[in-house]
Amino acid sequence: MTLSFFDQFMSPMYLGIPLMALALTLPWILYPKPTTRWLNNRLLTLQGWFINRFTQQIFQPINMGGHKWALLLTSLMLLLITLNMLGLLPYTFTPTTQLSLNMAFAVPLWLATVIIGMRNQPTHALGHLLPEGTPTLLIPILIIIETISLFIRPLALGVRLTANLTAGHLLIQLIATAAFVLLPLMPTIALLTALLLFLLTLLEVAVAMIQAYVFGLLLSLYLQENV
């Protein structure tokens, strides 16, 4: 049976049961658990430093009312980084290449920020739909454009994460296939292709971390507008 390059993005099934829930649950086992000792080991210290730096950088411009979201956004960012990084391992499945999963993350959180803004400060939230000093003739057009841009936000969040990871996985598979095909024919070219594959893998590691960070950062910016 000939496999397609896109078969790696199919949700895994076992005895007719989708394993998406298992793929989302298992990464939490990899995190070291806090201990009751006075001094933590290096891994726990590094993990705590990373979480503190991320939380401080994301929530520093947000007032105290938005700091309630710190645990949620930090946990989401850690989950996305772990899923993205595990998806780069051989014979693994990356749940974040599924647009449905990314939209399930993006839509409720974006909608929550909009509801918070409409509940706490409706005048300020609706004021984003019409910039100050707009000419009278352009008011209806700008309101429509700003409304469309508001509703496109969750779609942009989900599509950005899906597209970046999908493109990276496809490039890795294409270059790896080319390296295997060229190895018996042109070994020198195959070695250069393997070197390119190694550099691309390093790039994809960076992309996996950056995209998870951008996802959390944009959600914090949406929260900042409405808190």
Give per-residue pLDDT as tens, 155-197: 999 999 999 999 988 899 889 888 888 888 888 998 999 999 9
Q: Which of 3-12, 118-127, 136-145, 182-191 has the highest mean pLDDT?
A: 182-191
For residue 210, which of 29, 54, 67 has the smallest C-alpha distance? 54
Residue 36 reports pLDDT greater than 50: yes
Q: Choose the weakest-confidence range: 19-23, 54-58, 217-221.
A: 19-23
Q: What is the pLDDT of residues 193-211, one digit of tens each?
A: 999 999 999 999 999 999 9
In 60-186, where does DSSP find H-type helix? 70-86, 99-120, 122-127, 139-182
Instruction: Please say whether the dihedral angle defined by the alpha carbons of residues 104, 107, 110 and 112, taken in this order, is positive or negative.
Output: negative
- SS3 assignment, position 18: strand
Residue 1 reports pLDDT greater than 50: no
Looking at residue 104, its pLDDT comes to 92
Q: What is the pLDDT of residues 57-110, one digit of tens each?
A: 888 888 887 888 888 898 899 899 999 998 888 888 888 888 888 999 999 999
In whole angstroms, give the CA distance from residue 128 to residue 145. 11
Residue 3 reports pLDDT greater than 60: no
What is the helix (H) or strand (E) element at residue 200, kind and residue range? helix 187-226
Looking at residue 6, its pLDDT comes to 66
In whole angstroms, give the CA distance from residue 51 to residue 68. 15
Q: Strands 13-14, 17-18: parallel, antiparallel or unpaired by DSSP?
A: antiparallel
Residues of the chain above pLDDT 90, percent: 26
Q: What is the mean pLDDT of the chain?
A: 85
Looking at residue 133, its pLDDT comes to 75
What does the chain come to in residues?
Answer: 227
Looking at residue 59, its pLDDT comes to 84
In whole angstroms, give the CA distance from residue 114 to residue 124. 11
Backbone phi, psi, residue 128, to 5°: -65, -20
Looking at residue 195, its pLDDT comes to 93
Q: Give the pLDDT band of residue 2 (cuts 50, 70, 90).
A: very low
